[in-house]
Amino acid sequence: MPGATMNRSVRGDVRSVWIGSVRPELDGGRFPVKREVGDLFEVTADILREGHEALAAVLRYRTVKDPAWHEVRMDPLGNDRWVGRFPLTENTRYLYTIEAFPDPYRTWAEDLKKRLAAGMEVTSELLEGAEILRRTLPRSAGADRRRLEARLADFEQAETAARIRLLLDEETLELVETYPDRSAATQYDRELEVVADRVLARFAAWYEMFPRSQGKAPGRHGTLRDCIERLPRIAGMGFDVIYLPPIHPIGVSFRKGKNNSLTAGPDDPGSPWAIGNEHGGHKAVEPALGTLEDFRAFVQAARQAGMEVALDYALQCSPDHPYVKEHPEWFYARPDGTIKYAENPPKKYQDIYPLNFSCRDREALWEEMRSILLFWIEQGVRIFRVDNPHTKPIPFWAWVIGEIQAVRPEVLFLAEAFTRPKVMQALAKVGFTQSYTYFTWRNFKQELIDYFTELMQSDVAEYLRGNLFTNTPDILPPILQHGGRPAFQIRLVLAATLSSVYGIYSGYELCENDPIPGTEEYFNSEKYEIKSRDWGAPGNLDGYIARVNTIRRENPAFHEYRNLRFYPSDHDDILWYGKRSCDGGNTVLVAVNLDPFEAHQATVRLPLDAIGIGAEERFQAQELITGTRHLWKGEEQTIRLDPNEEPAAIFRVGRFPHKDYGTPCY
């Protein structure tokens, strides 16, 4: 049995309790699992020993800063499986382990009941029970000790029937279980860890925007003060996080021009990811955007609008970055002594120098990279979207995230790593709060079911939270290029309801879908130029996005990550799935037509048993996007979705009349 524990001891040791198959446990306890503040954290384990003697077990837990352990009793589930739970009340890391030991009083009580049922003589057995109470006395204290003494005194004066009642009543059992004999206890041989993040780690809607494109006149470079004026509109669509690409000074050497051309014009602003020039590096603000004071004002204004700011953390430099002159040893050198620029053949990034995290002066480099995070935390940032973390050493991320969260546990990290699955998983294990996913390229029914079943119903869900971005400045997926407005609605509903955390890149609400032919790159990409947009253009999705985000907020089932379940639908283009809140009070079911061109109809099956509705019972289904209400009966219903009218339906299901659901169950 993997992960099993028995006390390793000398011959004759009586401690023979077996503890194994503890869940959750990630890689033998090497990495922590993830939860959120307010969760009731559940731990299960196989706990057993030879014979039929009863056992007792406790789940022990404490925060990493608390030297004292707390305990809750574990309960048997059957087949030697046990469960215990404790509340995660703080934004910190918790340690937990299990201790189990024989329970002689419960063993005695069960034996006595069998003898009584068989009509056997029990005089000697009653004396054995009283002896267990006497052995408990030295471990008891205060009022409990006096209660035990009184019970023993009553036992001496009582007749057989009264003795039986006294020894078997619940008060006696409670007293004995409060002061158990742990001399033969077995403790699990490792202390496991759970990170309790802020709830925003699990439930949030992200909006990405380039500050320089927020100017009030076409072609004029936007400022952070201009960005403040955009906040009410973004907050009105229901977003919780506003994410900014790098806001630092942009290099001039080898600056990229429009559409990633190698020659920049005099007015081309360059890529924000080519960080650093004579005005500073990673701890400075691009002068065209404003000042540090302007940035702090933006952070404060976002908070007042009910949002948090996420800032890009991109560990690379332009050839003009101060680090290049001050610390050339931090970069990769060619044989001729020049510094290597970044490449991802056939792509070349002459405007970017990658950092060498394994250089001889790596300790100073790593410390400086940590200081960048601390600097922006001082400016009010609590969320970082990390650019290409899979191109830096995983041990660096384990170190720097651990260092930051040891002093600022509220800080969240999103890994922008569209790379091999196990690399993405490793980054999540060592500390990243959230991760980008392959959702962007999952379009068809079975691949969506397979991918999200793995993501949210396997052990991956213990440590990786998938943040579903519909698009990014680097990725305009084919379905958005060709599917028109219905495709944007379809992908929005999928992202917002499959996961509890998702995001869009600005321009999505305007259904921007003009690619460089044959690629997933935007034509006239905002990465290389200032974009001017008419945010009120006809056909925009502002109202639709706001409605979907309102539905998410009003239904606690959408606040949870691991509760996604797929249900049968008899059409390949109709995806049918649902979520249920942890208290069982809120059930939502979602139907999405995955085809942006044609209307389709499907017979779908409802999980009535899980909801608690009888097969012949009438119940209400309120469609939340349109507001229509239906009275349904039976587990099969017919749904038709026309992408030119409404490509998705979100049903809140409950007994008639429908009740309103308030505070989410965390």
pLDDT range class, residue 3, cuts 50, 70, 90 = low
> Which residues are 587's β-sheet partners?
580, 653
pLDDT over 80 (residue 385): yes
Backbone phi, psi, residue 638, to 5°: -105, 130
pLDDT over 80 (residue 387): yes
pLDDT of residue 622: 97
* Sign of the torsion formed by the C-alpha atoms of 399, 403, 409 and 415: negative
- Tens of pLDDT, residue by residue over 489-507, are 999 999 999 999 999 999 9
User: Is 565-655 in the same CATH topology as 18-196?
Assistant: yes
pLDDT over 90 (residue 253): yes
Angle, alpha carbons 598-601-603 (nearest 5°): 155
- Tens of pLDDT, residue by residue over 462-474, are 999 999 999 999 9
pLDDT of residue 465: 98
Among residues 353, 339, 392, the alpha carbon closest in space to that of 370 is found at 392
Fold of 18-196: Immunoglobulin-like (2.60.40)
- Tens of pLDDT, residue by residue over 567-595, are 999 999 999 999 999 888 999 999 999 99
pLDDT of residue 663: 35
Domain boundary assignment for the chain: 18-196, 198-247+285-315+355-554, 565-655
pLDDT range class, residue 13, cuts 50, 70, 90 = low
Q: What is the mean pLDDT of residues 523-544?
A: 96
Determine which helix (DSSP H) or strand (DSSP E) holds 421, and give its type and residue range: helix 421-430
Q: What is the mean pLDDT of residues 156-162?
A: 94
Contact 339, 365 (CB under 8 A): no
User: What is the rounded distance in angstroms from the CA atom of residue 477 to the CA atom of residue 487?
Assistant: 11
Q: What is the mean pLDDT of residues 93-121?
A: 95
pLDDT of residue 654: 87
- Tens of pLDDT, residue by residue over 606-638, are 999 989 999 999 999 999 999 999 999 999 999
Query: Percent of the chain, pLDDT > 90?
Result: 92
**Who's near 380: CB < 8 A, 6+ residues apart?**
296, 299, 300, 303, 309
Q: What is the mean pLDDT of residues 100-119?
A: 94
DSSP for 76-120 reads EEETTEEEEEEE--SSSEEEEEEEEEE-HHHHHHHHHHHHHHTT-
More confident residue, 492 or 10: 492
Which letter, b or e, does each residue of 605-638 get, where b requires 16 or more Cβ atoms within 10 Å of its Cβ? ebbbeebebeeeeebbbbbbbeeeeeebeebebe
**Who's near 542: CB < 8 A, 6+ residues apart?**
233, 236, 237, 509, 535
Hey, is 261 helix, strand or coil?
coil
Query: 411 is written with which tokens?
Result: 């800080």
Active-site choice (387, 509, 573, 595): 387
More confident residue, 662 or 109: 109
Of 35-49, 175-189, 280-294, give the lowest mean pLDDT range: 175-189
pLDDT of residue 276: 98
Q: What is the mean pLDDT of residues 51-75?
A: 96
Mean pLDDT of the chain: 94
pLDDT over 80 (residue 659): no
Among residues 72, 20, 7, 11, the alpha carbon closest in space to that of 48 is found at 20
Q: What is the mean pLDDT of residues 513-528?
A: 97
Which letter, b or e, does each residue of 46-79 get, where b requires 16 or more Cβ atoms within 10 Å of its Cβ? bbbbeeebbbbbbbbbbbeeeeeeeeeebeeeee
CATH superfamily label, 198-247+285-315+355-554: Glycosidases (3.20.20.80)
343 is catalytic: no
Determine which helix (DSSP H) or strand (DSSP E) holds 490, and give its type and residue range: helix 484-498
The CATH architecture one would assign to domain 565-655 is Sandwich (2.60)
Backbone phi, psi, residue 291, to 5°: -125, 175
Among residues 23, 405, 40, the alpha carbon closest in space to that of 197 is found at 405
320 is catalytic: no
pLDDT of residue 655: 75
pLDDT of residue 348: 82
- Tens of pLDDT, residue by residue over 74-99, are 999 999 999 999 999 999 999 999 99
pLDDT of residue 295: 98
pLDDT over 60 (residue 658): no
Active-site choice (416, 462, 560, 573): 416
